[in-house]
Amino acid sequence: MAEASGGSTSDPATTLDATGLLCPLPVLKARRALKAVPPGGILEVLATDRGATKDFEHFCQTTGCQLVEASEQSGGILRFRLKKPG
């Protein structure tokens, strides 16, 4: 479920919790969530699927989004910050 949490380019416009979902669902849900993000805005995605890193790299190459951050948080949570083309 997506939740609003900010609005500048440094703060995510939306955070998508895709933890527990397997490929390709995190990317598919991110594509849908990006529709509500303003141009130049940030979508933060939280995931647990190890394959999501490659999936989001490919997603950004094909959509023009910029992968601003890809990191691992405690508990095995992967955090991706995608900047929507503006």
Query: Catalytic residue at 23?
Result: yes
Considering 21, 23, 25, 67, which one is annotated as catalytic? 23
Structure tokens at 20: 């527990």
* Cα dihedral 34/67/51/3 (nearest 10): -40
Max Cα distance, the chain (Å): 33
Phi-psi region of 20 (alpha: psi -120 to 50; beta: other; left: phi over 0): left
Active site residues: 23
